[in-house]
Amino acid sequence: MTNPGWGGAANEGIPPQPRCVRHPDRPTALSCNRCRRAACPECLREAAVGYQCVDCVAAGQRDVRPVRNVAGAVTAQRQVPLVTYILMAANVGIFLITAAQSRSLMQNYSGSTLFQDWALYPPAVVDGQLVRIVGSGFLHFGLIHIAVNMFALWIIGRDTELILGRARYFVVYLASILGGSAAVMLLQLGAVTAGASGAVFGLMGAQAIILLRLRRSPAPVISVIAINVFISITIPGISLWGHLGGLVTGAAATAGILYGPQLLGSGNNREKAVTVGWVCLGVVALVPLAVIAVRILQLRASIGY
């Protein structure tokens, strides 16, 4: 007589245990509550009722519409303000290049060919050196200048990026640089200007508009703007017009994103509102470019270029 606890003859009637659909080498008695397929513990996730396999969880997430904020940007719990950090790294990297060329952290503007080639000097722009229009926004006069601007960008830029979304935030930043350059081309022909201050002022203007759209008081941001404008007026060597040009452009660009869809009657259609916001942002960004182009033509005509 054969002992049922030993040998194969007594086990012939027992069906084989199911195998995990993602790991065929793993027998399992568990299954997904949604698709009923066999799944090992590693492939199951806790759900509202029972457990679901990772494939069903992923399919369910694709069916859920993303949560968007007031600007139409997708809201994520752990979103990193990546563009702000990239812009800070770019500014610091360019500053280190100018410091290495001039062999000085405090007087990096005095022997750096990059600084001399990128600083905003309107006569040079008229001569065709267009890189100065944007490149000057990444230059700084000494260590204190860049430290103040990068601290301001870190404080203001992170929240602004999370509201506007990375792509639109980046365009608002660049548009603010263009706005500052356009103001300098109009009103400070003989000045040599540089710095991310115009872009930072643009982000201050953006934050004020965002707070208004959220129906919150913009008083704290407006107070900071007023203090910085006062400093720009009272301290020699600071480009007031560059700051104001960036401020106006950043505020106008953000207003186009947040209020443009409402004014054009597409506020209830989220997809259309995002598209209209982009169009408004593009129009605002083109204005300083048009101002700069017209100014170049005027100056060339005046000197018989």
- Residues with catalytic annotation? 197, 243
The answer to whether 202 and 151 have CB atoms below 8 angstroms apart is no
- Among 39, 16, 15, 42, which Cα is nearest to 28's? 39
Q: Which residues contact 200 (CB under 8 A, 6 or more apart)?
A: 149, 152, 153, 156, 246
- Among 135, 194, 189, which Cα is nearest to 298's? 189
Looking at residue 108, the DSSP 8-state letter turns out to be T
Integer-rounded Cα radius of gyration of the chain: 29
Helix or strand holding residue 105 (H, E): none
Give, in order, the Cα–Cα distances in Å from 201 to each of 25, 47, 87, 197.
61, 47, 15, 6
- Among 244, 288, 294, 286, which Cα is nearest to 126's? 294
Q: Please give the structure tokens belonging to residue 37.
A: 């397929």
The answer to whether 27 and 19 have CB atoms below 8 angstroms apart is yes
Q: Which residues contact 68 (CB under 8 A, 6 or more apart)?
A: 74, 75, 270
Q: Please give the structure tokens belonging to residue 257.
A: 């994103």
